[in-house]
Chain A
């Protein structure tokens, strides 16, 4: 019987890119998983198989290839529904990614439901994709955008949410399940229950959570839930918006075009049933089919095992990084309250310089504002370094990162 660590080590063979060398023949240490993850052969092969053997547009033609592609595409919808514990797969809308999913809600739901003076509440640790669509909407509607601030520990100050809700003007509370910079896991249950008591809709940006932990949408009780396939072993260009059927049915469409209609006449159109009403145009068929394999891969490992593996890596990395003089760590000190994302700064060395120097040792991290400039302002920095882990990462790779950081100290004579 394999130990758990060995089992995780063993799955590296499924990821061809992990074998490659970068720069001066250095082993690749890929710690940019919060941006996008690598893809296993199972996903890559499924996409090739579609193009080589049954490439065809879906839903309309009656020939053999179209039947096969439609079945594979719709099968993914069922797999996603089961993965999230949703009974009705018609509530699963395929989009390009989290950004498109949030924009869809802001456009199609927001324009019909948000009026002058209403309040949309978001948080200080949101990605730009959960800020800008709401700025556009509130500016257009003369509504207000309010923020739940974070405390020194990188956690949301929920008292502020109570204050906003007590105004009776809040229409939507939208927040990330897990911060893409601090790794903080939001207190979802508390937020949802406060909003439900106030009769307010809730959107969860789950781009950073669904890939790393078990999510049971049946229990969470939110109204909208959005995430991306490419951050969980799947291809780019596939994301999921889930919303309750009653809400989706009342919502106006987002994009108009083929597939989303029932009947089109010269001056009027009736809409197709869910989920097609929100899937205008030929979708990303190949990548949706590939995405099914990504979910199957993750489920085979088990989401709880994945969470534990990342927690182990995060604890180890935090311990080792604390030993480096001059290294500032952001976010909560309690590993259980965070995902496998570590943001840091190293003395006054700019993150771009840190990123470039450790890249020479094959270590890929992210340097910059991580599309979270509101949070950067709060932290009073222009940018941070961010290392983020996934299923194929190991403690040995963290040792490589630590050694590479010591090299930064040498170059900058720290």
Chain B
């Protein structure tokens, strides 16, 4: 195999032994998402304390790329403030695993890589919306969330 590598040692290792894999009972945020192309599913569970992510776990079926990216994502954002999570960019995640090339080389596989990040953003935004009483700002946030991907 040549070209930009996908199946590095790190990705294989994470897919075999994912980090933060499992469920959180009664989590503050539970976001489910699926990739309609392949039927992969992910469930993301977060607890929030003092506007920070105090606990995070993910569960689901996915390919090695999806599992590795979900693992790394949960490691990277644990303990971060919600504002930081809002700003968290896909490039930060992809570069951690050396997968930035997927954006250009594989429009199909990039969806595997970003499924958990997409769920995270939707989960966080839904959480904000729920917390908001004023429906206009909630509407704006919904729109911002819809334009993320």
Query: Which residues from chain A sit less than 8 Å from chain B, CB to CB?
Result: 23-24, 349-353, 356-357, 360, 367-369, 373, 376, 382-383, 407, 411-413
Contacts A350-B62, A368-B39, A373-B39 aside, 16 further interface pairs with beta carbons under 8 A come to: A23-B3, A349-B64, A350-B40, A350-B63, A352-B63, A352-B65, A353-B7, A353-B63, A357-B1, A360-B1, A376-B39, A382-B39, A382-B40, A382-B61, A383-B39, A383-B40
* Contact, CB under 8 Å: B109 / A413: no
A-B contact pairs, 24 of them (CB 8 A): A23-B3, A24-B2, A24-B3, A350-B15, A350-B63, A350-B64, A351-B38, A352-B63, A352-B65, A352-B66, A353-B7, A353-B63, A353-B65, A356-B109, A357-B1, A360-B1, A382-B40, A382-B61, A382-B62, A383-B38, A411-B1, A411-B7, A412-B7, A412-B12
Q: Which of B1, B12, B109 contacts A352 (CB 8 A)?
A: B109
Q: Which residues of A contact B47 (CB under 8 A)?
A: none
Q: Which residues of B contact A369 (CB under 8 A)?
A: 38-39
Q: Which residues of B contact A360 (CB under 8 A)?
A: 1, 3
- Which partner residue on chain A sits nearest B6 by CB separation? A356
Within 42-91 of B, Cβ neighbours of A (below 8 Å) are at 61-66
Bound-complex Cα distance A354 to B66 (A) = 14
Q: Which residues of A contact B37 (CB under 8 A)?
A: 368
Query: Which residues from chain B sit less than 8 Å from chain A, CB to CB?
Result: 1-3, 6-7, 12, 15, 37-41, 61-66, 106, 109, 112
Q: Which residues of A contact B66 (CB under 8 A)?
A: 350, 352
* Contact, CB under 8 Å: B7 / A357: yes
Bound-complex Cα distance A376 to B15 (A) = 22
Q: Which residues of A contact B38 (CB under 8 A)?
A: 351-352, 367-369, 382-383
Bound-complex Cα distance A352 to B35 (A) = 12
* Contact, CB under 8 Å: A353 / B39: no
Q: Which residues of B contact A356 (CB under 8 A)?
A: 6-7, 106, 109
Most chain B CB neighbours (cut-off 10 Å) among A352, A356, A360, A369: A352
Q: Which residues of B contact A413 (CB under 8 A)?
A: 12
- Which partner residue on chain A sits nearest B8 by CB separation? A411
Bound-complex Cα distance A357 to B1 (A) = 8
Q: Which residues of B contact A383 (CB under 8 A)?
A: 38-40
Bound-complex Cα distance A412 to B40 (A) = 20
Query: In angstroms, how far is the closest chain B Cβ from the Cβ of A366?
Result: 10
Q: Which residues of A contact B2 (CB under 8 A)?
A: 24
- Which partner residue on chain B sits nearest A412 by CB separation? B12
- The answer to whether A382 and B7 touch (CB under 8 A), given A352-B63, A352-B112, A353-B63, is no
Query: In angstroms, how far is the closest chain A Cβ from the Cβ of B111?
Result: 10
Bound-complex Cα distance A413 to B65 (A) = 16
Q: Which residues of B contact A411 (CB under 8 A)?
A: 1, 7, 12
Q: Which residues of A contact B106 (CB under 8 A)?
A: 356
Most chain B CB neighbours (cut-off 10 Å) among A356, A373, A407: A356
Bound-complex Cα distance A413 to B15 (A) = 12
- The answer to whether A382 and B41 touch (CB under 8 A), given A352-B65, A353-B63, is yes
Q: Which residues of A contact B61 (CB under 8 A)?
A: 350, 382
Bound-complex Cα distance A357 to B38 (A) = 16
- Top 3 nearest A-B pairs (CB, nearest first) are A350-B63, A352-B63, A369-B39
Bound-complex Cα distance A397 to B57 (A) = 43
- Which partner residue on chain B sits nearest A377 by CB separation? B39
Bound-complex Cα distance A367 to B109 (A) = 12
- Which partner residue on chain B sits nearest A408 by CB separation? B7
Bound-complex Cα distance A368 to B39 (A) = 7
Q: Which residues of B contact A368 (CB under 8 A)?
A: 37-39
Query: In angstroms, how far is the closest chain B Cβ from the Cβ of A379?
Result: 12
Bound-complex Cα distance A357 to B106 (A) = 13
Query: In angstroms, how far is the closest chain B Cβ from the Cβ of A263?
Result: 44
Bound-complex Cα distance A353 to B41 (A) = 16
- Which partner residue on chain B sits nearest A360 by CB separation? B1
- Which partner residue on chain B sits nearest A382 by CB separation? B61
Bound-complex Cα distance A357 to B2 (A) = 11
- Which partner residue on chain A sits nearest B112 by CB separation? A352
Most chain A CB neighbours (cut-off 10 Å) among B12, B37, B38: B38
Most chain B CB neighbours (cut-off 10 Å) among A24, A350, A407, A412: A350
Q: Which residues of B contact A367 (CB under 8 A)?
A: 38
Q: Which residues of A contact B3 (CB under 8 A)?
A: 23-24, 360
Query: In angstroms, how far is the closest chain B Cβ from the Cβ of A26?
Result: 11
Bound-complex Cα distance A402 to B36 (A) = 29
Bound-complex Cα distance A356 to B64 (A) = 11
Bound-complex Cα distance A322 to B140 (A) = 56
* Contact, CB under 8 Å: B40 / A353: no
- Which partner residue on chain B sits nearest A357 by CB separation? B7
Query: In angstroms, how far is the closest chain A Cβ from the Cβ of B2?
Result: 6
Query: In angstroms, how far is the closest chain A Cβ from the Cβ of B37?
Result: 6
Bound-complex Cα distance A411 to B66 (A) = 17
Q: Which residues of A contact B65 (CB under 8 A)?
A: 352-353
Bound-complex Cα distance A360 to B112 (A) = 18
Bound-complex Cα distance A24 to B64 (A) = 23
